[in-house]
Structure 1
Amino acid sequence: MMTKWERLAHELRLKEYTHLIVGPGASFAYLTGMTAHVSERLTLFGMNADGHAALLLPKLEASGVPRSLQIHVYTYSDELGPVEALKAFASDLGVHQDSRVGIESGHMRIFEEHALRQVGITHLVSADEVPMALRLIKDSHEVALLQSAAQIVDAALTSTLPLLKVGMTELEVAAELEYQMRKLGSEGTPFGTIVGSGPRGALPHGGPTTKQIEQGELVVLDYGALIAGYAADTTRTIAFGEPSIEARKVYDVVLLAQETAVDGVVAGITAEDVDELARTVITEAGYGDYFTHRTGHGLGLDVHEYPSIMKGNPLVLTPGMVFTIEPGIYLPERFGVRIEDDIVITEDSAQVLTQFTKDLLIVGD
């Protein structure tokens, strides 16, 4: 079996790139085992198509390079800046005027691009598909980390529910959830926790506010945990007090759509077919116009990565792919419902990593 670096070099040759250079982010972590923070300092990993790799780091980060990482490291001080070290980094990798250097166009900042161009690395082309091909299939260790994160989000909600009362603010609910996840071992949150109550639940990405949660309101809770950089992402919708008949109806439609899609996931199905399973249920119930996003997204070191579970994506789902299934209905200025689980494709079926009940729970009475 090829190592990550051997697979990367193979992908570069296959796609006819001479090099790949990535900045801080999930692919950097995947390829180096190091967490690099996006900052005002230049940090880069590079590899050429022959499999030779190099790192460019601020001097203060050099001690964080694992001893097991056999790689040339070029450092610089704050006083001198990165230019000379960057030139040495580029020379070591064999970058020249005609090199076709791949970058992650969806992640690399103008800051990094400008620095590369400063030292003559000018033929930069989008190569997002290269690290995507490596990271798309998770190995057993990665799946175990994702499962650990999923167990934390489940347990955190179990611990939080008894603390919830009508009259709490959305921010207070978010704080309780995040505190419980930290206590259970989460390294942080992979995205801003979403708590949307009542009309604010109709905002799919509505962050928590000082709004007080009122009797009878549905509340959308979308939150995540991190273990060794790998993210769990789950959503449950709960009721603070007895909800309306219509709210229960909409909840039941979303639940049926979500469970239909989950039950239909198997190796060999396409991403767009999974989306269609969920979307058909919601459309036939008369709420198609209020399901305004894809059915799911990939999950790993990024909380949103490949594959996208959506119409128009013919990708065949294969063992080791991990993604969410999260249909929703959002009635503007009234309420919203979303239910989300994390799924991993196995050889003969699909495993649901998040196991918290999807029954409509009523709290805060």
Structure 2
Amino acid sequence: MQNRRQFLETLGSMAAVSTAAGASSFGNVRQLRLFAFLPPANTHDRLQPEWYRRKIKQVQDRMKEHKLDAMVLLNATNVIYTTGYFHLPTERPLAALIPANGDPALFIPGLEEDQVKLWWVKDYESYFDYPGPVNRVQWIFQRAAKRGFGGGRIGVEEPTPSRLKHMTQGAPRARIVDASEIIEQLRWIKDEDEIDLMRRAMYFADFTVKAGREFVQQNGTVSEDQILKASADAVADKMSKELNDVVGIGIDAPFGGLVPFGKRSAFPHAIPSKDRLKSGDALILSFGAQVGGYTVECERSFCIGKPNDYAKRLFDAMLAAHDSAAENLKQGAVAEEVDKKSLDQIRKAGFGKFLKHRTGHGIGLEAHESPWIAEGDRTVLQESMTFSCEPGVYDPDWGGFRHSDTVVVRKDKGEIINTYPTRLEDMVIEI
């Protein structure tokens, strides 16, 4: 087996980028060439202050519709979405105050004081630490009240009973209003700046699947944890070298991703094992990447060696469901109807008993966010929403297949931003 440095050097020499997805064969190795979204030199890999100033104005326009005097955001993702202030969420509350007019303010724990000075939001107040002599949510609302919002309507996100108690203790004369839908629905629809970041992230997600495939081809009967480590090492090195701004890299402990094979490929969220890959196995390489806070998914299902007829039938059913969903993720479609049309492809193939989950979910600043491409979600899709597209089929006595693409809703059909191939002929690995 190659050591890590040898593998990365080999991968780097093979990772040439062309203007189209394709494949070439030499010996038993099928080398893939991937189209990649490459931004101009010296551009940023995160949204800039001007973008967030426009976003604050959009939020304020929605606030006027709801007759709100202010919003206090405590959800870390929503703070990032509206202000761009990336931080490490802990038990210490951190909030953004958005007034009906003017610039936002941040209420932060003291350990953020030096970092916040580097960002565009200059108005902030801090407390020393948590828990402190006064509940910190109560402290935040006391500060909001002192800024003139104590008798007004303050919008908040899905307050729990205990949190609502602390809010009202901090601003007892204010009317606290659940205004969760304002930020949630703004986040649903991405603009082209956000989608460009997702394309940039997909460049790395596609690369990670390629890295995992190359590692398997070169090393044969490897274990899941070895595939995870090799893939994560490769993409971490690449992101470190190529990103101009780093505000989040989506590599989860221990190494990131899901790489089940054999019968364990029928576990949609399989944790890593020490099992050894063998000829005849199904293999799923499931990875995400994050650039500028925006997350994407690339998952591909492979056959180790020539697939038998049963494997082909399972794969074809999965791919038909995937293609149906991607085609139907279009403006005006209803989320649960897209899901039904997709999963019906698997049912029609006779594998309905092997369905274990919905077709997809919203994706953006969070890996899983609303709306849901699932039964029970009647959301009407709008252009520039973004979703995972990942129907799967899982036979517990054999294994499973699942591709996942990240898809942008467009007028006539979904736009897949992944570039990694999906057809069975490109999914065979000889070891």
Give TM-score, length-normalised by structure 2. Answer: 0.75
Deviation digits for residues 152-181 of structure 1 (CA, Å, limit 9, x no counterpart): 111222233221144311111111222222
Asked if 1:134 corresponds to 2:186, the answer is: yes
Asked if 1:340 corresponds to 2:404, the answer is: yes
Q: 1:11 maps to what in 2?
A: 62
Q: 2:8 maps to what in 1?
A: none
| Alpha-carbon contact 1:74-1:88 (below 8 Å) kept | no
In the alignment, the residues of structure 2 paired with residue 73 and residue 199 of structure 1 have an alpha-carbon distance, to the nearest angstrom, of 53
Asked if 1:363 corresponds to 2:426, the answer is: no
Q: 1:188 maps to what in 2?
A: 249
Deviation digits for residues 101-144 of structure 1 (CA, Å, limit 9, x no counterpart): 42245xx897x667646635696554331211211111111110
In the alignment, the residues of structure 2 paired with residue 94 and residue 11 of structure 1 have an alpha-carbon distance, to the nearest angstrom, of 20
Shift of 1:236: 0.7
Asked if 1:21 corresponds to 2:72, the answer is: yes
Q: 1:246 maps to what in 2?
A: 310
Shift of 1:315: 2.3
What percent identity do the matched residue pairs reach? Answer: 27
Alignment of 1:105-144 (within 5 A): 116=167, 119-120=170-171, 126-144=178-196
CA 1:109–1:195 in 2, change beyond 3 Å: closer, same or farther? farther
Q: 1:223 maps to what in 2?
A: 287
Helix, strand or coil at the partner of 2:202? helix
Q: How many residues align?
A: 362
Shift of 1:71: 4.9
| Alpha-carbon contact 1:24-1:37 (below 8 Å) kept | no
In the alignment, the residues of structure 2 paired with residue 201 and residue 79 of structure 1 have an alpha-carbon distance, to the nearest angstrom, of 43
Q: 2:228 maps to what in 1?
A: 174
Paired amino acid for 2:225: L
Deviation digits for residues 270-305 of structure 1 (CA, Å, limit 9, x no counterpart): 222321221121111122232222211111111111
Helix, strand or coil at the partner of 1:224? strand
Shift of 1:259: 1.2
Helix, strand or coil at the partner of 2:331? coil
In the alignment, the residues of structure 1 paired with residue 164 and residue 270 of structure 2 have an alpha-carbon distance, to the nearest angstrom, of 32
Shift of 1:51: 5.6
Shift of 1:70: 4.3
In the alignment, the residues of structure 1 paired with residue 313 and residue 99 of structure 2 have an alpha-carbon distance, to the nearest angstrom, of 56
CA 1:309–1:51 in 2, change beyond 3 Å: closer, same or farther? farther
Helix, strand or coil at the partner of 1:3? helix
| Alpha-carbon contact 1:54-1:93 (below 8 Å) kept | no
Shift of 1:332: 2.5
CA 1:169–1:104 in 2, change beyond 3 Å: closer, same or farther? farther
Structure having the higher Rg? 2
| Alpha-carbon contact 2:145-2:171 (below 8 Å) kept | no
Deviation digits for residues 300-334 of structure 1 (CA, Å, limit 9, x no counterpart): 11111122112333322222111111111122243
Q: 1:154 maps to what in 2?
A: 206
CA 1:180–1:10 in 2, change beyond 3 Å: closer, same or farther? same
Shift of 1:89: 2.6
| Alpha-carbon contact 1:223-1:234 (below 8 Å) kept | yes
Helix, strand or coil at the partner of 1:260? helix
In the alignment, the residues of structure 2 paired with residue 226 and residue 35 of structure 1 have an alpha-carbon distance, to the nearest angstrom, of 13
Q: Bigger CA drift: 126-135 or 245-254?
A: 126-135
Q: 2:115 maps to what in 1?
A: 64
CA 1:158–1:67 in 2, change beyond 3 Å: closer, same or farther? closer
Q: 2:345 maps to what in 1?
A: 281
Q: Is there any run of 5+ residues in structure 1 with no aligned partner, and where? A: none
Shift of 1:248: 2.1
Deviation digits for residues 187-237 of structure 1 (CA, Å, limit 9, x no counterpart): 422655112222222221122222322331112222101111111112111
| Alpha-carbon contact 2:232-2:251 (below 8 Å) kept | no
In the alignment, the residues of structure 2 paired with residue 21 and residue 170 of structure 1 have an alpha-carbon distance, to the nearest angstrom, of 44
Helix, strand or coil at the partner of 1:195? coil
Q: Bigger CA drift: 207-216 or 64-73?
A: 64-73
Paired amino acid for 1:248: K
Deviation digits for residues 50-83 of structure 1 (CA, Å, limit 9, x no counterpart): 5663211122212323666345200122399484
| Alpha-carbon contact 2:198-2:291 (below 8 Å) kept | yes
CA 1:78–1:347 in 2, change beyond 3 Å: closer, same or farther? same
CA 1:104–1:161 in 2, change beyond 3 Å: closer, same or farther? same
| Alpha-carbon contact 1:103-1:124 (below 8 Å) kept | no
Q: Bigger CA drift: 48-57 or 210-219?
A: 48-57
| Alpha-carbon contact 1:166-1:215 (below 8 Å) kept | no
